[in-house]
Structure 1
């Protein structure tokens, strides 16, 4: 990893609060279209900043993505998981040093425990960086995707979704910047091409009562913003001071949460929130599509925004677990997360950096 990278080590994060069945309040809803001109601060921007700081999760409507496109992506995602096991295994993530491809149930690790989900990971469709002794390991994150030959339509829909979601995420990021009294373009260089955004399509199989139910373990997302599209089966929960709050599905709305890189850029004014997915018990699988809007590897470092004094006073600094440090260097931070989550890829392509079991 780059020796220029440095970790952020403030006070350790607060531990898990006890689950609370008394939490019934739904997450707030933000209408992206209502935020209007990204150059003018409005009361809606102030509400956005308040929600993001104090809650960290919200529903996003008014995003402008056509319902038909959403339905096509959801349908073809289900078709992918219906492919024969051997078809999915041909594009297994262990065959890609770029961390792209299929992972079976239990193949991804969160907090040292296997996640009970199967998924396929995509990134931006870009050429690989040539390997050499002087090339930092994190350049291995850039490269082509793996596509199932049995489902050629998937590539078209995924690439179209990446473009649509990128535009929504950039508009939302600009709205955040205006809300924090920054120029809307303040982080344009951070998200300029070549892009480094990721996409997962995920299936959580039903688990019987009495069996482990870690669909995905409690974690924070590492990018700037996450746009999550859920189906009608619940299971997503966000940690609040009162305990775990259910995030029920809302048709054609994204669930949005802040990532650690935006927490770094705002010196902790905006906070990445801890969340998890509990496996469904209903006998039906849960499907979701997660888009991770992330800094470009070419941007190198996450800049620190110059917040006005009345906001800077409320910035508590970013949280960082000494066992999972945050780095201001983008590539170092991104690779660290992948190595921990995908031990098969780490051991095959990054043996000197692979975590020990």
Structure 2
């Protein structure tokens, strides 16, 4: 008999999308139900190459094992685009430091040419920083980002179909230069007597988040107020959650759920790799007209009074970055702090 604890989040089989019409309908029904009732689910049989996933995890560990002076050469504080490395405790969630070491990249693009009246969020576009000591990291993460984007867009379009919208309903928000984001994260073990905040309770800001976990627990989901369940690792699966963009766009019919990460035990560490599918920074999120049978169940987006949602994607994303990364904010955006 297995002693494994049963999973507390829904499991969605991506391969059903390649099946017959009944299987596709089953996929859409499961997807909409999971997103509405929980806002989190496991995605299995997703088609992302397993060797590539292994290489992503291997190189993530190799990056965090680099000497500190090599990692600091690509520190985020060098980048007005919020790309690069952060020491544990550098990122802030709900006014408290997150005890996680991390490395952020986005879509590899040239900076925009800015005018005096250009909105500050246009500074977010730009190149990544890559460690010279680990040249393989760039090619592997770029390949993974491309595969994840293709799969994630299929999920996004499946959401549109599940909501009885045109399949391409969200394409204009995604646009030609979307805000795709990858984050490598290492959670060191923490003493039981101190703060256990690996990541504080929060919602994600984009369309969808896909998380590749190792075998250590830590991610927790607030399925109902003050009722936290473990998103236990499931080998070969992604943990997927809804972001605030979809909650806004559906007037709260789809649910962006609060989640957090608890630090591992003192003798352990936890590695996760996140892919965030976002919208084009210049987009403005409308409220899509759902069929009456769905629209009457929409409860409106649940906005945090301390971090209110904005429908202007660029400003909403910049607001979150400024709150989370005070060192970058002070260096490159001092005129926008506390606005």
Alignment match of 1:293 (pick from 274, 277, 283): 277
Shift of 1:132: 2.5
1:269 aligns with 2:253: yes
Contact residue 145 and residue 182 of structure 2 kept, 8 A: yes
Shift of 1:212: 1.0
What is the match of residue 78 of structure 1? Answer: 61
Contact residue 181 and residue 308 of structure 1 kept, 8 A: yes
Matched position secondary structure for 1:171: helix
* Equivalence map 1:1-357=2 (5 Å): 25-36=7-18, 42-241=25-224, 243-281=227-265, 283-298=267-282, 300-355=283-338
Q: Spell out, residue by residue over 1:191-217, the C-alpha distance to the aligned partner (whole angstroms, 9 max, x if none).
A: 122121111000000012112110000
Whole-angstrom distance in 2 between the partners of 1:297 and 1:143: 12
TM-score (norm 1): 0.90
Matched position secondary structure for 1:276: strand
Whole-angstrom distance in 1 between the partners of 2:262 and 2:242: 20
Contact residue 14 and residue 27 of structure 2 kept, 8 A: no
Q: Spell out, residue by residue over 1:144-175, the C-alpha distance to the aligned partner (whole angstroms, 9 max, x if none).
A: 00000000000001111110111111011111
Range with greater deviation from structure 2 (125-134 or 96-105): 125-134
Structure 1 gap segments, 5+ residues each: 1-22
Structure 2 gap segments, 5+ residues each: none
Whole-angstrom distance in 2 between the partners of 1:25 and 1:91: 38
Matched position secondary structure for 1:257: strand
TM-score (norm 2): 0.95
Whole-angstrom distance in 1 between the partners of 2:280 and 2:172: 8
Matched position secondary structure for 2:211: strand
Shift of 1:39: 9.1
Q: Higher relative CO (CA 8 A, sep ≥ 6), structure 1 or 2?
A: 1
Whole-angstrom distance in 2 between the partners of 1:233 and 1:47: 27
Whole-angstrom distance in 2 between the partners of 1:72 and 1:141: 28
Whole-angstrom distance in 2 between the partners of 1:192 and 1:295: 7
Find runs of 4+ consecutive structure 1 residues off by over 2 angstroms: 23-26, 35-41
Matched position secondary structure for 1:326: coil
Shift of 1:184: 1.1
**Count of aligned positions:** 333
Superposition RMSD in Å: 1.7
Matched position secondary structure for 1:297: coil
Shift of 1:131: 2.8
Contact residue 38 and residue 184 of structure 1 kept, 8 A: no
